[in-house]
Amino acid sequence: MFKSIQWKLVVIYIMLILLAMELVSIFLVQSLEKYHIQTLSNTLDGKAQLISGYIIRHLSPVPRSEEISDVIKGFGHEMGIAILDGSASVITSTDDTRFQKGMKLLTPEVTQATFGTAAKDTRIDSKIKIPYMYYAYPVKDGDSVIGIIYLMSSMKSIYDTISSTKKILLTATLLSLVVTGVLGFALSKTITGPIQEVTKKAASLARGDFDQKIEVKSDDEIGKLTHMFNFLTMRLKETMEEISDEKEKLEAILINMADGVIALNDEGTVIHINPVARQMLALDDITGKNFAQELEKLLNIDMKQLLSQDSDSSETLIKTDAAILKCIYAPLKRKNRILGHILVFQDITKQHRLETMRKEFVANVSHELRTPLTTIKSYAETLLDGALEEKELSRQFTSVINNEADRMTRLVNNLLELSRLDNRETQWDLKPIDPVTILNEVLTKMRVNIQRKGQILEVRVPERSPEVLVDKDKIEQVFQNILSNANKYTPKGGKISVELSYDDKTVSIAFKDTGIGIPKEDLPRIFERFYRVDKTRSREMGGTGLGLSIAQEIVQAHNGEIQIESEPGVGTCVTVRLLTIAQELVKRNEM
C-alpha cells in the first residue's frame, strides 16, 4: 500500500505537520517557562527592595527582631521570608520550622549576597518534590552588608500552567494530524488520479494506438501534464509518419543513387540491394538470400572472417568485364555489437583512367628530362675525353649542351607554372585592358620570326575593342604560344592570319595557319600535357608538349574558352574567347 504515491504524499503531509507542531510546541513551552520564571524573579526582586526600605533602620546598629518580624508579616502570605544578618545568620522569618532563629545559611545565593550582590537559584524541595525559587538580596549601609533578605517562592503554579499548555498543544497536534491525513488523502487523490489515467493511456500508446487523448480538467501542473501528454501523442504520431516518409525517401535515394549498395544482416543474408548494385555486379534479385558465396567469388575474400571481424571499414577493388569497381565495407554497430554490414560499390573506371594518365604524365616528364640530360652528359664526357682541344668541335658541343640546358629550363618552368595553376597559387594581376593592345605587342615580337621563315602574316584587327579584365602578361603568353606554334608548324611560304572580332559579351581572337594540321583522332587529346601528334618532329623543334595545356589553364582561369579546329594538310585554327568586363561582372553576380 505504501508503495503508492498517494500514501507517500499523505505520510509526507502528516510528517510535515507533526514536525511543524513539535517545533512550535517546543518554542512556545520554552518561551512560556522563561517568561514566568523571569516574572517571578522580577516580583521577588521588587518585594526584596520594598522590604529593604522598611527594615534597614531596624538592622543598625543592633538588629531588632521584633520590629523586623512585624514588618515581614505583611509580606509573608505568598512566600517564605527570612531576614539574615551580615554573617548569614537568621534574625527572624515567617517560617520558623524552615528557618530557625540563629541558624546560619550557607546556600550559594546567600553566600553571594554576603559579598553585596543579589543572587537567585532554583531548586526542588527534596521532601515535597516541588521546585522553589530562592532569592537573596543584600541590605547595605554604605559599602557594608548589614543584612540579607532571603525570599523563597513556590514554582508549582508555573509548571502547572506549562503542563496544561503542553496538553493543549498535544491535543491540537493530534487534531491537526487527523485533519491533515484526511485532506492529504483527498489532495493526493487529485494528483494520482490523472497520473493513473495517463499510465493507462501510455500503455495503449505503447501498443501502437496513437489516437489516445486525455481530457484536460484544470490549469495546474496536472492539467499541464495531461496537455503535454496529448501533445506528445500528437507529436509521436507525426514522428512515426515522418519516419515512414524518411524510410520511403531513403529507399528512393538508394534506388536512384549512382553507387551500388548492398545491406546484409549479421548472418550475411541480403536485406536490401539497390538496382545499381544489381546492374554493376550483374546479379538477379537476391533479397532474402545468403550472399556469402557470391561475395566470396566477387571480392575474393573469406566471408566468414569478414562477418566476424570487429574492424572498421575496409576497401577492395573488383574488376569486371565492363568496369573497375571499388567495394567499401562498413559494419553496422551498436554498443560494440555488429548488427549488420553495408557494402558500397563505386564505379571508378574513369578515375582509374585518370590515374593511368597521371602515370603516363610522370613517365613523359621523366623521359623529357632524361633526353636532354643524356645529351648533356654524353657531350660533356666527349669534351672531357679530349674534344676541348679542338676549338671548333668544342664550340659546337658547348652550343648543344647550352641548347639542351635551355630546353630543360623551359620544361621545368612550364611544369612549375602548371603546378601553380593546378594549386591555384598563381598571383593574378587583373586589370581592364583592350585586347588589341596585347595582340599588337605579340605580333610585333613575332613578326621577325615569321618573316625570317618566309611566311605571310595577315592581320585583321580593329583599332579598338571592348576592354577585358585580364592579367596582361598571362594573356600575352597565351597569344605568343599559339602564334609560335603556328610559326613552327607552317612551312615556308605558308600563311598565318590573325583576326579579332567582338560582340557585347565576348572578344574572339582567331589564329589561323596553313600548316601541317592535326589528325581528327588526336584533336580530343591536344590539350593533354606532353601530348604530341608527331613526337619526333616536335622534339626536333624544341617543343615540350605543355604549351597548349598552359594556355588552356590560363584562359579558363579568366572565365574564357579556347577551341581548336584542324585538318591535316590544310591547317589549324585556334580561337580564344574572353568575356568583356560587363559580361564578367554579370557572371560574378550570378555566382
Domain ranges of the chain: 5-161, 213-254, 257-347, 352-421, 429-590
Cell of 295: 561475395
Between 474 and 585, the more confident residue is 474
Closest CA to 420 of 474, 464, 372: 474
Least trusted range by pLDDT, from 66-75, 101-110, 210-219, 429-438: 210-219
Report pLDDT for 499. 92
State in words which class domain 257-347 has. Answer: alpha beta
Cell of 558: 579568366
Average pLDDT estimate for 398-410: 76
Report pLDDT for 297. 67
Residue 576 in this model has a pLDDT that exceeds 70: yes
- For the domain covering 429-590, report its CATH number: 3.30.565.10
Instruction: Output the CA torsion 385→389→392→397 (10° steps).
Output: 30
Separation CA 430–CA 558 (nearest Å): 9
Report pLDDT for 510. 92
**Largest Cα–Cα distance in the chain?**
171
Q: pLDDT tens across 348-374, in order? A: 777 777 676 666 666 666 666 677 777
Q: pLDDT tens across 36-73, in order? A: 889 888 988 888 888 888 888 888 777 887 887 877 87
Beta strands in 74-229 (DSSP E): 80-85, 90-93, 119-124, 131-141, 144-154
Quick check: do 5-161 and 257-347 share a fold?
yes
Which pairs from 314-317 meet CB under 8 Å and 24+ separation?
A: 317/348
Query: Residue 288 — pLDDT band, cuts 50, 70, 90?
Result: low
For 517-571, give the secondary structure using H, E and C. CCCHHHHHHCCCCCCCCCHHHHHHCCCCCCHHHHHHHHHHHCCCEEEEEEECCCE
Peptide bond into 462 cis (omega under 30): no
Cβ-count burial of 31 within 10 angstroms (0-12 exposed, 13-18 middle, 19+ buried)? exposed
CB contact set of 187 (below 8 Å; sequence gap of 6+): 9, 13
The DSSP symbol for 76 reads T
Strands 456-460 and 495-502: parallel
Query: Residue 537 — pLDDT band, cuts 50, 70, 90?
Result: very low
> In whole numbers, what is the pLDDT of the chain averaged over residues?
79
The DSSP symbol for 269 reads B
The strand pairing partners of 245, in sequence order, are none
CATH architecture of 352-421: Orthogonal Bundle (1.10)
Query: Residue 275 — pLDDT band, cuts 50, 70, 90?
Result: confident
Report pLDDT for 538. 47
Separation CA 84–CA 107 (nearest Å): 12
Q: Residue 386, Cα to own-chain centre: how many angstroms?
A: 76
Q: What are phi and psi of 511, to 5 degrees?
A: -110, 110
How many CB atoms are closer than 10 A to CB 571? Answer: 22
Cβ(414)–Cβ(361) under 8 Å?
A: no
Least trusted range by pLDDT, from 275-284, 491-500, 553-562, 564-573: 275-284
Cβ(55)–Cβ(83) under 8 Å?
A: yes
Is the domain covering 5-161 a CATH 3.40.50.300 domain?
Answer: no
Report pLDDT for 78. 67
Residue 314 in this model has a pLDDT that exceeds 80: no
Cβ(343)–Cβ(331) under 8 Å?
A: no
Report pLDDT for 418. 65
Separation CA 517–CA 485 (nearest Å): 11
Cell of 349: 573506371
pTM of the full structure: 0.43
Q: pLDDT tens across 325-350, in order? A: 887 777 777 777 777 778 888 877 77
Report pLDDT for 498. 92
Residue 532 in this model has a pLDDT that exceeds 80: no
Report pLDDT for 533. 64
Residue 192 in this model has a pLDDT that exceeds 80: no
Query: Residue 526 — pLDDT band, cuts 50, 70, 90?
Result: confident
Cβ(435)–Cβ(478) under 8 Å?
A: no
